[in-house]
């Protein structure tokens, strides 16, 4: 399958709709182990993303990703804005100048996103953050490439998200709780799962 700008735009529209639907849930998750603004941060960010990308037509997927990232960095307060923003900006650099991409290329771009999140967040796998979804999901996409089974990818992303419940937070606000963070899902892992699930539904169309 070849992915074009239209797919990415539809993806962002679906992320926006899904995040808006789950705003209260994301807020509740962040109330348990953070400051309760993750739902607000994410809805604001993706609303702005939609406004921005509807202003332009894109024949460069890299530019589209970079615009998404710039909006998230500049419009979203909190840790998640700069981290999600970095993820999209870094992916955009890999995809620069490409009017269409393969799943393999998307996987390579996400690998740069992962590197960017790690660098910016000084985080690693197991810290109970969004990275606990981003890194394994990216590996999974890269390992399976164009033979990727999208439905299996969805279950895999959900498993990774669920796994954050067992972890003790080492980064971000939840880390202030130490062991008391165990037993709760990480809000950023849940929003990241929404991101990958909606991507999958676009790829299944
Ligand atoms: P804030 O914590 O500033 O209020 P949000 O509530 O919007 O920001 O986002 C919190 C999420 O950001 C966490 O659930 C976690 O997934 C992610 N996060 C926080 N700090 C880091 C970090 N250093 N590295 C990776 N992800 C992080
Ligand atoms: Mg928060
Ligand atoms: Mg906050």
Reported confidence tier of residue 99, pLDDT bands at 50, 70, 90: very high
Residues with CB under 5 A from ligand 3 (ion): 35, 37, 78
In whole angstroms, give the CA distance from residue 147 to residue 57: 30
Pocket flag, ligand 1, residue 30 (CB < 6 Å): yes
Angle at the Cα of 32 from the Cα atoms of 80 and 41, rounded to 5 degrees: 25
Rounded to the nearest whole angstrom, what is the distance from the C-alpha of residue 97 to the centroid of ligand 1?
31
Pocket flag, ligand 1, residue 114 (CB < 6 Å): no
Give the predicted TM-score (pTM) of the model: 0.98
Cα→Cα distances 40→9, 73, 98, 150, Å: 22, 15, 33, 29
Determine the pLDDT at residue 195: 98
Determine the pLDDT at residue 190: 98
In whole angstroms, give the CA distance from residue 20 to residue 38: 11
Rounded to the nearest whole angstrom, what is the distance from the C-alpha of residue 191 to the centroid of ligand 1?
11
Contact status, residue 135 vs residue 114, Cβ threshold 8 Å: yes
Ligand 1 pocket, mutate which of 27, 130, 184 (most atoms under 8 A from CB)? 130
Give the structural domain span for 173: 3-204
Pocket flag, ligand 1, residue 67 (CB < 6 Å): no
The answer on pLDDT for 71 being more than 90 is yes
Rounded to the nearest whole angstrom, what is the distance from the C-alpha of residue 188 to the centroid of ligand 1?
6
pLDDT tens, position by position, 45-57: 999 999 999 999 9
Whichever domain contains 107, its CATH number is 1.25.40.340
What's the ipTM? Answer: 0.99
Rounded to the nearest whole angstrom, what is the distance from the C-alpha of residue 1 to the centroid of ligand 2?
37
Sign of CA dihedral 44, 113, 17, 22: negative
Reported confidence tier of residue 90, pLDDT bands at 50, 70, 90: very high
The answer on pLDDT for 77 being more than 90 is no
- The secondary structure of the chain, three-state, reads CCEEHHHHHHHHHHHHHHHHHCHHHHHHHHHHHCCCCHHHHHHHHHHHHHHHHCCCCCCCHHHHHHHHHHHHHHHCCCCHHHHHHHHHHHHHHHCCCCCEECHHHHHHHHHHHHHHHHHHHCCCCCCCCCHHHHHHHHHHHHHHHHHCCHHHHHHHHHHHHHHHHHCCCCCCHHHHHHHHHCCCCCHHHHHHHHHHHHHHHHHHC
CA-derived radius of gyration, the chain: 16
- Please, which residues bridge with residue 4 across strands? 100
Residue closest via CA to ligand 1's atom 27 equals 129
pLDDT tens, position by position, 112-161: 999 999 999 999 999 999 999 999 999 999 999 889 999 999 999 999 99
Pocket flag, ligand 1, residue 189 (CB < 6 Å): yes
pLDDT tens, position by position, 4-51: 999 999 999 999 999 999 999 999 999 999 999 999 999 999 999 999
Pocket flag, ligand 1, residue 153 (CB < 6 Å): no
Number of compact structural domains in the chain: 1
């Amino acid at each position: 399958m070849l992915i074009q700008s239209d797919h990415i735009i539809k993806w962002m529209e679906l992320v926006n709709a899904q995040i808006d639907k789950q705003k209260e849930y994301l807020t509740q998750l962040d109330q348990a182990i953070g400051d309760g603004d993750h739902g607000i941060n994410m809805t604001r960010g993706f609303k702005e993303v939609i406004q921005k990308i509807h202003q332009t037509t894109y024949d460069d997927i890299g530019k589209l990703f970079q615009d998404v990232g710039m909006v998230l960095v500049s419009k979203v307060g909190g840790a998640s804005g700069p981290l999600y923003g970095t993820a999209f900006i870094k992916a955009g650099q890999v995809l620069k100048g490409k009017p269409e991409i393969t799943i393999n290329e998307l996987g390579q771009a996400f690998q740069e996103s992962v590197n960017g999140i790690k660098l910016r967040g000084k985080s690693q796998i197991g810290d109970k953050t969004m990275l606990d979804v981003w890194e394994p999901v990216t590996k999974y996409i890269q390992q399976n490439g164009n033979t990727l089974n999208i439905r299996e990818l969805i279950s895999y992303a959900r498993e990774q998200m669920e796994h954050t419940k067992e972890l003790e937070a080492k980064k971000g606000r939840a880390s202030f709780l130490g062991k008391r963070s165990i037993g709760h899902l990480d809000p950023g892992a849940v929003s990241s799962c929404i991101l990958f699930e909606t991507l999958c539904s676009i790829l299944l169309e």
